[in-house]
Structure 1
């Protein structure tokens, strides 16, 4: 990881969906090592030398929103890519904000270092861990993801586990098996996110999308495994 100020690729001044139950601003950290075909933020994948948006300037904007917002969410890209993340979290918390984190579960050690600093984590599980490279394009990514999931569950932090479902990447049998494995690990809050073809950079995946997937029976089967479960089709995409 690099030192210095947080490298920020984007900023949303207001969101009611990125941290459940909280009004938040979202800071998009630049850089991600994975290349998921359905990624809707490919412009955030590359890691530049300098920040497109200065963190100091964003911090001034956040200071002006104290009392109007509840939280700041660090998203990406992959926010744990950046060595400056703990310091940026401290800056935002010093203003009185709760802290949310979106992570694709890429770097177990880096994630463990920031879990004590956050109030809530939204994390992605993209596939059965043994089949992860088919989604991310990176060998060994399933081992990294599994270690991150275990770290989050062991930390006791409030969380939401979510999976974007596409019939090619996650056919019914694989989706059922993955959900059962997550439940066995101790995941209690699980969200399925329906695939959106709009904005998807992989045209083959977009063409293979199946409206209505997963079907009602598959949703019911998975819902019985978790204490809290929902299907999200509101434009949020992992």
Structure 2
């Protein structure tokens, strides 16, 4: 299949996953570059943007061609995939090959997300924090309003999606997590994943250290049990 001069800066490829696109055997294509600066980020090498070369996307197409009939879907992740103008063209090519298309995004570009929606089968939307806390956690001003528009787009679209929050106890208290989760449930979010932040290779070294307000080991599980009735699906990932 011709690459049509699509330029995506490829940061990596996971050839097989059952977790990143629920219910499907998929691969994950990681793109380089992210506008956010989350202190707990465990892929800081993916933050700096760069221009993609056409041969990078062609190598992904060659891989997908070899996986026809084996994989069901392709997940675009990052970094922040919607940073790149070539993403819609890449997603269209993936669909033309017979694969379903999934996206992992933090929602910083609602206009670009809106243009992508007709090409998507599933979205994982990162929720960094509640309201203005979103900006503090992601290290960029004005992002939480954009994220809110992205969430509304997904709620109105009918596309299958889940929200996910990475919890580092330097950014959250248990009460913060509960308030955020209930707010999402009130908005109409039905599927939610809470995942504990990794403590190695963080963007900010202080995030590699234990947080002083870390709750008791079973406190998060107890919170999830209280929150479960508010969602169709609520998962805690260690």
Whether these two folds match at TM > 0.5 is yes
Residue 5 of structure 1 corresponds to which residue in structure 2? 7
Report the Cα offset of residue 215 of structure 1: 2.6
- CA distance in 1: counterparts of 2:40 and 2:22, whole angstroms: 23
Hey, what does 1:65 align to over in structure 2?
67
* Pairs aligned (count): 231
Secondary structure in 2 matching 1:132: helix
2:22 aligns to what? 20
Secondary structure of the 1:192 match is strand
Shift of 1:225: 1.6
Quote the residue 1:161 is aligned against.
163
- 1:142-185 CA distance string (max 9 Å, x none): 11111111111111100111111122211111111111111111
Aligned residue number for residue 51 of structure 2: 49
Q: Distance in 2 between matches of 1:141 and 1:121?
A: 18
Separation in 2 of the partners of 1:213 and 1:123? 26
Helix, strand or coil at the partner of 1:144: helix
Residue equivalent to 1:230 = 235
Distance 2:219 2:234 in 1: 14
Paired residue for 1:204? 206
Separation (CA, whole Å) in 1 of partners of 2:157 and 2:112: 14
**What is the CA-CA distance between 1:220 and the residue it aligns to?**
1.6
Change (3 A) 1:200 1:52: farther
What is the CA-CA distance between 1:216 and the residue it aligns to?
A: 2.8
C-alpha distance in 1, partners of 2:114/2:218?
Answer: 34
Q: Which runs of 5+ in 1 are unaligned?
A: 234-238
Question: What is the CA distance between 1:13 and its match in structure 2?
Answer: 1.4
**What is aligned with 1:221?**
226
**For residues 170-185 of structure 1, what are the structure 2 equivalents within 5 Å?**
170-185=172-187
> Does structure 1 retain, via aligned residues, the 8 Å contact 2:127–2:134?
no
Which runs of no fewer than 5 residues in structure 2 stay unpaired?
none
Preserved CA contact (<8 Å) 2:6 2:89:
no
Contact 2:168–2:197 under 8 Å retained in 1:
yes
Q: Is the 8 A contact 1:129 1:145 kept in 2?
A: no
Q: CA separation in 2, counterparts of 1:114 and 1:179?
A: 26
Please tell me whether the aligned partners of residues 224 and 234 of structure 2 are also in contact (alpha carbons under 8 angstroms): no
Conserved? CA contact 1:9–1:53, under 8 Å: no
Secondary structure, counterpart of 1:146 in structure 2: helix
Match of 2:115 in 1: 113
Q: Contact (CA 8 Å) 1:31, 1:45: kept in 2 or not?
A: yes
